[in-house]
Structure 1
Amino acid sequence: MGLYHSVQAVAGASGDGPIDWDAVASAAKSSTDPGSLALTDRQEVAYADDVRAARDRVRDVADIGFDLPETVEIQNRHHWIDANVETFERVMRPLEQQADLMPGVARVANTGSMAFALSFLGRNVLGQYDPLLLADDGDDHALYFVHPNIEQVASTLAVDPDRFRRWIAFHEVAHAAEFGAAPWLSDHLESTMEDAIGALTEGSIDRASLGELDTTMTAVEGYAELVMDRAFDDEYDDLRRKLDERRGGQGPVAKLVRRLLGLGMKRRQYERGKAFFDAVADERGVAGAGAVWDGPDSLPTDTELDDPAAWLRRVDP
């Protein structure tokens, strides 16, 4: 869809920076079908009910206090791209500010790469909890559901769309619970990210900061998996199995793109983090696993992620 317009937008990338973000948004949306947002009244009510039910169940199971973000949106793919162009631009801004004036051909290549990434993600993301890292306008956190993707994947997997949507809601609300239980978490991620980006602008790689980011995100993803699994009010093994089979059954191009975008690393974070928190919860319960959010010093180290008993001994000697 709109391939010509997408290429035209990238080829016309302009400005002084290394990336033309207006062209990124235009190209990504031109090559992506927005999908339908023609929700029935029942579907609109169901989204709201799922989110509220997930909030109540997560509060109860995890024994943590939090509330939902002020912004909860049901989006099509173009809405998601617009929201995340802003996020990508915020994250890339320090690098852009340090970059020398880029020749046109490099700007076109950078713009095309970002547009391709956002287009691919826009067609695949189901839900997103966005802590709005590096935002400078004081916006609250946000929760998004990409309705056309949820409907499409539920159909592809041959599962009940209502049940599948509810499962996705529980996962994203579990992320909201983490950041609600740990007010320091956003600042911790921001400062670590800024350290890593700062090193890149100086031409070096801060492996300590990158390692800290990976460890923190492994804890974030793993805890959300634990809470979602323990709080979800239905069977879910078939949903997880079918979703994993779908990922594994993708063609070589899709697999390559997922690898280039770091989605394989994200899956590893899910699996490694969940194994850690399953072991902790089996020993101390889900509420005990929540001790990870007491402060930055309570986060597991990279070594402790593979040795939950060592983390337990350290935080609860």
Structure 2
Amino acid sequence: MESGIFQGRNPQTKSPRIASPTNYKRALGVGLFLGAALGLVWALSRRYNPETFQLIDWDRVRRIALNVCRLRMTEEISPTEKASHERIYSSLVDQVRPLVVQYTAAENISPVALVHVLDRAEWIDANIANYQLLFASLEKIVRDSFLRRRSGPSIFTLTNRALASRYLGVLMGYLASSVLGQYDPSLLGRELLTPGRLYFLESNIRIWQRRLALPLEEFRTWVALHEVTHAWQFEAHPWLRDYLNAQLELYIQEIARAQAGFSLRNLLERLSRLENIIRGEGNLIELIITPKQREALRRLQALMCIIEGYGNHVMEKVASSLLPHYQLIRSRFQKRITAKSQAEKLFIKLTGLEVKLRQYIMGQAFVDQVVKKEGITFMNEVWVGPANLPTLQEIGHPELWIKRMKERVEG
């Protein structure tokens, strides 16, 4: 049985030629409602200057993110503690960097001088700055289209703005209470005049260290290993930053094209997919991307699978010979990832964070298998250039990538 707003209407029944007084009242009510709605749309559009319009309300994103992470965790470190912990993490980075270089059999990397210990609000601000750069070119395209049409944003653009702002705020608040460390490679328009930045969220690290009953110094080293590996990936291979930037720009351009052609029909088509998402088939991202955007997203996902999977592989291999409690940390950290409440699992599913979790799992499985069969030196062929990056299909079937790389060498 189908349900919907048209259920119960008999297609064979013809409307009377003369409407009853009740129908007049309904027509008048509908007319007044539509008039009020159109007036609201016009008023909202007039509120925004086409020359300065932003697709995201960043102040709202920050407010929501702070509220979400404060609901989840309240502990923060003091400014005095922050300074002393920056010295601790700088020392850890110096300690593990040569071990990463030794295991990967790679050339040395430049010093990672910019080590920062952040509280959650600072992490939110740093990542909002990154997102603002990400959206800058898209917003310029949208503003230019407003100026060409000599009009302000449509109701669909304003609705998207409200939804996207809330989505980003909730997502960033959740992550701010979960992230342990982050390597920021200075993407999207920034001049790479200095090495990237390493962020450590000491509050989150200490909370999870206590929850999992882990030795604190070893757990800090575990986190530092993963982030220093990311530093090596980007700083020893400058093309990687340029390639990631290019893929992000392509993805943004596809979003801009879709934004320009958005209509009520697009909205209805996307809402029709909501039932599948509620059943657990897909996530909210599926509501807002087009087929071309999906293609661009798959290229980005393949790249992130390798970046994250390689980072996990190196972290575990180096940690296994460095940390006395390696097995304990590994097993309990895995439980941290898998032991989620039903509400948290639903949130991860709806927001698309499961894609990020799959990147770690798929990417590491790929790297583990390639290294086991061919060794780390062969695996490092992936960092030669974009042509050597595996596709998502090859990540699922490492033998295909191995075969392709061997054919390139022989050719």
Do the two structures share a fold, i.e. TM-score over 0.5?
Answer: yes
Map 1:69-148 onto structure 2 (within 5 A): 69-99=112-142, 101=153, 107-138=161-192, 140=194, 141-148=196-203
Corresponding residue of 2:57: 20
User: Is the 2:181–2:201 contact (alpha carbons within 8 Å) kept by the matching residues of 1?
Assistant: yes
Q: 1:106 to 1:190 in 2, by over 3 A?
A: closer
User: Mean Cα displacement is larger for which, 174-183 or 306-315?
Assistant: 306-315
Sort the Cα spacing of 1:268 and 1:108 in 2 relative to 1 into closer, same or farther, 3 A: closer
Aligned-pair CA distance for 1:41: 8.2
Aligned-pair distance for 1:29?
2.7
Deviates more, 1:45-54 or 1:269-278: 45-54
Deviations 1:145-171 (A, max 9, x none): 011000001111111111111100000
Percent identity of equivalent pairs: 31
* Match runs of 1:201-240 below 5 Å: 201-203=256-258, 204-206=290-292, 207-232=294-319, 233-234=322-323, 235-240=325-330
CA distance in 1, matches of 2:116, 2:327: 27
- TM-superposed deviation, 1:269: 1.2
**1:39 aligned counterpart, secondary structure:** helix
* Corresponding residue number in structure 1 for 2:37: none
Matched, 1:67 2:110: yes
| Partner residue in 1 for 2:238 | 183
Q: State how far apart, in whole Å, the 2-side matches of 1:156 and 1:117 are.
A: 23
Aligned-partner Cα distance in 1 for 2:254–2:160: 22
**Aligned equivalents of 1:198 and 1:41: distance in 2?**
41
- Give 1:242 shift: 1.5
Count of matched residue positions in the alignment of Structure 1 and Structure 2: 305
Task: Indicate how the Cα distance of structure 1 residues 183 and 41 shifts in structure 2: closer, same or farther if over 3 A, else same.
Answer: closer
C-alpha separation between the residues in 2 aligned to 1:288 and 1:128? 27
Name which of 44, 47, 66 aligns with 1:29: 66
Distance change in 2, residues 1:106/1:311 (3 Å): closer
1:265-304 aligned within 5 A: 265-304=355-394
CA contact (8 A) 2:76 2:203 kept: yes
Q: 1:67 to 1:258 in 2, by over 3 A?
A: farther
SS of match in other structure, 2:238: coil
- Work out the CA distance in 2 between the residues paired with 1:306 and 1:106: 34
Residue from 161, 168, 187 that aligns with 2:216: 161
Detail structure 1 runs of 4+ shifted over 6 Å in the superposition: none
Larger Rg: 2
**Residue 316 of structure 1: SS of its match in structure 2?**
helix
**Aligned equivalents of 2:206, 2:351: Cα separation in 1:** 24
Aligned counterparts of 1:294 and 1:311: Cα–Cα separation in 2: 14
CA contact (8 A) 1:199 1:205 kept: no
Moved more, 257-266 or 120-129: 257-266
Deviation at 1:199, TM superposition (A): 1.1
Question: Could you tell which deviates more after superposition, 48-57 or 29-38?
Answer: 29-38
- Residue 274 to residue 74, structure 1, CA distance change in 2 (3 Å): same
**Cα gap change, 1:40/1:222 in structure 2, threshold over 3 Å: closer, same or farther?**
closer
Alpha-carbon distance change, 102 to 124 in structure 1, aligned in 2, over 3 angstroms? farther
Residues 76 and 148 in structure 1, CA contact (< 8 A), matched pair in contact too: yes
| Alpha-carbon displacement from aligned partner over 1:137-196 (angstroms, at most 9, x marks no partner) | 445421100110000011111111111111000001111111123211111111112112
Compare 50-59 and 240-249 and name the one that shifted more.
240-249
Specify the alignment match of 2:17 in structure 1.
none
Distance 1:308 1:110 in 2: 36
Q: Is the CA contact (8 Å cut-off) linking 2:57 and 2:161 kept in structure 1?
A: yes
d(CA) in 1 for partners of 2:302, 2:160 = 33
